[in-house]
Every structure is written in structure tokens, then in C-alpha cells.
């Protein structure tokens, strides 16, 4: 089984250095694949017909070389759907993809993908047979040149979207043998569903390669997700590949990736809280206890929200104390949260991680202080601290380019402040 990440998120892209660091990290934790499909790379999507300029192909070459040294399969994917492939000019268009793949092969890439997600489904259905010709020809080309199968994302890549037309399209994939088909599950962003995977296998004759949209935060860029991985309804592995789609924050994403790596090593023996603690220790050995304390305030992904029976929920002990009107315990727990924020900021070892999450930690610290001030009747102080917590901004990539948004942290603490 293949396991790794897919760089497939929207928003501010990772730097070249962050990509190199991620490859080394994957090797350290015994994962074995990096699928390169960044939405910001025009030569992956809208400018797919054009070869990479010298400087850019040099970066791809460096990523491929490092991957080979570290035992990581580096997969480069093309997306000829957003600037659509012209099936009326089939030979001319596919020759451009062959040329692009060859350019990547010359740079050391030996694994390839084809993305046809997020395109007009009505057109995809109308041209389904032409799609199959393209998929088959590219898969045969890749197999002949590299000996590997082709990774493929089809237009109906989850249960919520698929319909009779999608089923008909999907059924045509059954006869293409050298094809690894990606699947997100019940929805675009969803916990792992054993039934969804099994239904996919029955329809296509193939086990899915899971594109797991966690801890990706491009749909909520004002938050970070430092959640415990317990997003599955079965410990039986019924897929042939598993790839996390990370956050814009590369270093913080490693906490999630580490946990999934632990799960995939031995699902039956996996203990979520133990894996969560190990992940934080691995990334932040000096202030791990404090980061663990803070992490419980950084939940809120759709995967988290759509998972029933979670053991690790946002600020669970604080919420329990508030619901029970146990003010003594509540004051103590908020004090511990504030101390953890202070200690982490002073004593952290991982500077890259600290740089990414500092705005959220400071916002959380001020929100916790605001609640305590309000408890003590210091209303002006509480209001000032609350405003400070809400006025911390980060840059995100919007439709018009870079813009600033206010960060968000614990919804539990927000509710306590508003109700108190």
C-alpha cells in the first residue's frame, strides 16, 4: 500500500524549502509518496500545454532527486481540465502531454498523474469515451516509459457528487488495468468510510487510492487544525493508497501526517491519543506538553465535524466545567491554557512550526485571559483582551490576490466568553 501526501490545496503555496523538508519528513516516518499537484502551479493546470521554464524545472528536478535519495515516489500530476483539453484536436493535444511528461522524465520523475477533477461534469459525461481514450493512452505511455501505473482523479470523485452519469463514467475505468483511481469518500471532505471504499471497489473493480482532505484548511484559512486522528469507521484497510491533503501551514501539517503514518503501520493497534502525543513530541520535543495543551483549542475541520463518537473534542474539559458551572475548575483550566501559551512561546524548539502557529497561539492566549477577566468583573480589561484576540491577522490568498483575515481559535472558548 502506498502512503503519503498530495500537495493539492488552494491558497498560499508552500515554498521550495518547505517541499524539500516535507520529503525528508515523509521518509523519516516511513511514508513513501509525494504527489505534486499544487493549484498554484500554472504548468500543472492552466498552462499545462507549455513546458516548464528552466528555473522551475530545476526545482522539480531537485525535488525528484531528493525523493529518490530518500526512497519517496515523487508523482507529478497534470490537470488539463481547467483550460480544457480539446478532444477535436486529440493528437495535437495529447502530444503536448507526452512532451510535458517527457520533460519531467528528463528531470528525474518516474511517476505521473492525471487530474480531471473540478471540471464541467455534463461535458465530461458527453465526452466520456474520449476521456477513456485519453486516460488509456496516457496510462499506456507511462507504463511503457516507466513501468508504473497512472494516478487518476475523475470528475465524480466522491459519493455526494456521483450520479447515474458518474456511475456510467466510472464503470468505463474498470477495463483500464494500469490505473490507480483516487477517491475522497462520502464527500469532498469526509472521514474514512469503509462502505464508501467497498462500494467504489465493487463498481470499478479497483480498490481506491484515498485522497484524504485533512488537515487541509483552504476552505477555512482563518483556522489551523491540530486535531487527533480518529476519523474512520473501521480499522480494516480496503484501499491501495492513502494521501493526506495538508494545510497551507506545511510544518503544522506534519502533526496530522505523523498520526496517519502511525495508523497505517498497524490500524488494529492504533491508539489515537498516544499517536497524537508522539506526533507532537516528534515535531516539538522541548515544549511538547504545552503544545498538546494548546492543540485542543485548534479543532474545526469538516472531517472533525463529520466524525461521530470522537474521544478528542475541542476543549472538552473546559466545556464540561462550564456546562457544570464548576467555576473553580474552569478558572484552573483556563489558567493552565494561558501558562501553556506563555511557556510554549518562550521555550519552543521548532521555529518553523512556531512561526506558523504563533498568531493563533497569541489569539488564544488573549481570549483565555479575556474570559478570566470577565469572571473577575474586570469588564474593560476583558473587552480589551477580547479585541486583541480578534485583531490578530494572517495573510491568505483570495480571489483578488493576497489579503488579510482575522484568525479564529476555539469555538468553545468563544461561546464561554459570549455567554458569561
Q: What are the domain boundaries of the chain? A: 2-269, 316-419
Q: Evaluate the omega torsion of the peptide bond into residue 215 and state whether it is cis, within 30 degrees of 0.
A: yes
* CA distance linking residue 29 with residue 381, whole number of Å: 46
The domain made up of 2-269 has a fold known as TIM Barrel (3.20.20)
Catalytic residue among 40, 91, 106, 118: 118
Query: What are the distances in angstroms from CA 289 to CA 119, 242, 296, 385?
Result: 45, 29, 12, 25
Helix 90-106 to helix 128-146 angle (10° resolution) is 30
DSSP letter for 127, please.
T
Can you give the pLDDT at residue 262? 98
Query: What are the distances in angstroms from CA 332 to CA 341, 365, 367, 369, 384?
Result: 14, 14, 15, 12, 22
Can you give the pLDDT at residue 110? 99
> What's the average pLDDT block by block, 10 residues per block, for the chain (420 residues)?
97 97 99 96 96 98 99 98 95 98 99 96 97 98 98 98 97 96 98 98 98 98 98 97 99 99 98 98 98 98 96 97 97 99 99 99 99 97 98 92 96 96
Per the annotation, the verdict on 118 as an active-site residue is yes
* CA distance linking residue 95 with residue 90, whole number of Å: 8
Grid coordinates of 304: 472533525
Amino acid at each position: 500500500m502506498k502512503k503519503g501526501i498530495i500537495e493539492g490545496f488552494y491558497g498560499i503555496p508552500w515554498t521550495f524549502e518547505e517541499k524539500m523538508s516535507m520529503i525528508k519528513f515523509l521518509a523519516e516516518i516511513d511514508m513513501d509518496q509525494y504527489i505534486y499537484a499544487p493549484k498554484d502551479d500554472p504548468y500543472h493546470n492552466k498552462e499545462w500545454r507549455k513546458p516548464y521554464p528552466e528555473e522551475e524545472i530545476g526545482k522539480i528536478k531537485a525535488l525528484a532527486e531528493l525523493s529518490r535519495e530518500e526512497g519517496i515516489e515523487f508523482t507529478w500530476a497534470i490537470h488539463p481540465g481547467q483550460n480544457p483539453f480539446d478532444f477535436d484536436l486529440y493528437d495535437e493535444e495529447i502530444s503536448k502531454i507526452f512532451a510535458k511528461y517527457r520533460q519531467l522524465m528528463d528531470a528525474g520523475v518516474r511517476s505521473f498523474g492525471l487530474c480531471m477533477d473540478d471540471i464541467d461534469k455534463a461535458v465530461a459525461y458527453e465526452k466520456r469515451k474520449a476521456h477513456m481514450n485519453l486516460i488509456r493512452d496516457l496510462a499506456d505511455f507511462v507504463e511503457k516509459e516507466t513501468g508504473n501505473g497512472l494516478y487518476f482523479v475523475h470528475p465524480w470523485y466522491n459519493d455526494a457528487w456521483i450520479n447515474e452519469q458518474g456511475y456510467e463514467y466510472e464503470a468505463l475505468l474498470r477495463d483500464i488495468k494500469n490505473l490507480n483511481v483516487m477517491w475522497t469518500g462520502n464527500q469532498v471532505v469526509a472521514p474514512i468510510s469503509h462502505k464508501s471504499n467497498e462500494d467504489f471497489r465493487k463498481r470499478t473493480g479497483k480498490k481506491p487510492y484515498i485522497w484524504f482532505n485533512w488537515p487541509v484548511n483552504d476552505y477555512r484559512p482563518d483556522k489551523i487544525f491540530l486535531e487527533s486522528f480518529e476519523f474512520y469507521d473501521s480499522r480494516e484497510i480496503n484501499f491501495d493508497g492513502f494521501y493526506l491533503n495538508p494545510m497551507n501551514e506545511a510544518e503544522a501539517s506534519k502533526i496530522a501526517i505523523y498520526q496517519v503514518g502511525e495508523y497505517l503501520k498497524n490500524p488494529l493497534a492504533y491508539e489515537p491519543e498516544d499517536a497524537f502525543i508522539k506526533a507532537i513530541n516528534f515535531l516539538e520535543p522541548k515544549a511538547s506538553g504545552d503544545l498538546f495543551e494548546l492543540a485542543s483549542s485548534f479543532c474545526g475541520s469538516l472531517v472533525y465535524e463529520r466524525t461521530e463518537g470522537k474521544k478528542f473534542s475541542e476543549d472538552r474539559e473546559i466545556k464540561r466545567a462550564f456546562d457544570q458551572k464548576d467555576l473553580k475548575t474552569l478558572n484552573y483550566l483556563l489558567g493552565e491554557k494561558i501558562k501553556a501559551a506563555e511557556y510554549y512561546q518562550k521555550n519552543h524548539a521548532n521555529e518553523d512550526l512556531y512561526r506558523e502557529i504563533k498568531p493563533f497561539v497569541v489569539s488564544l492566549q488573549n481570549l483565555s485571559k479575556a474570559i478570566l477577566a470577565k469572571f473577575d468583573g474586570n469588564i474593560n480589561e476583558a473587552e480589551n483582551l477580547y479585541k486583541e484576540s480578534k485583531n490578530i491577522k494572517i495573510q491568505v490568498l483570495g480571489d483578488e490576490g493576497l489579503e488579510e483575515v482575522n484568525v479564529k481559535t476555539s469555538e468553545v472558548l468563544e461561546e464561554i466568553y459570549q455567554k458569561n
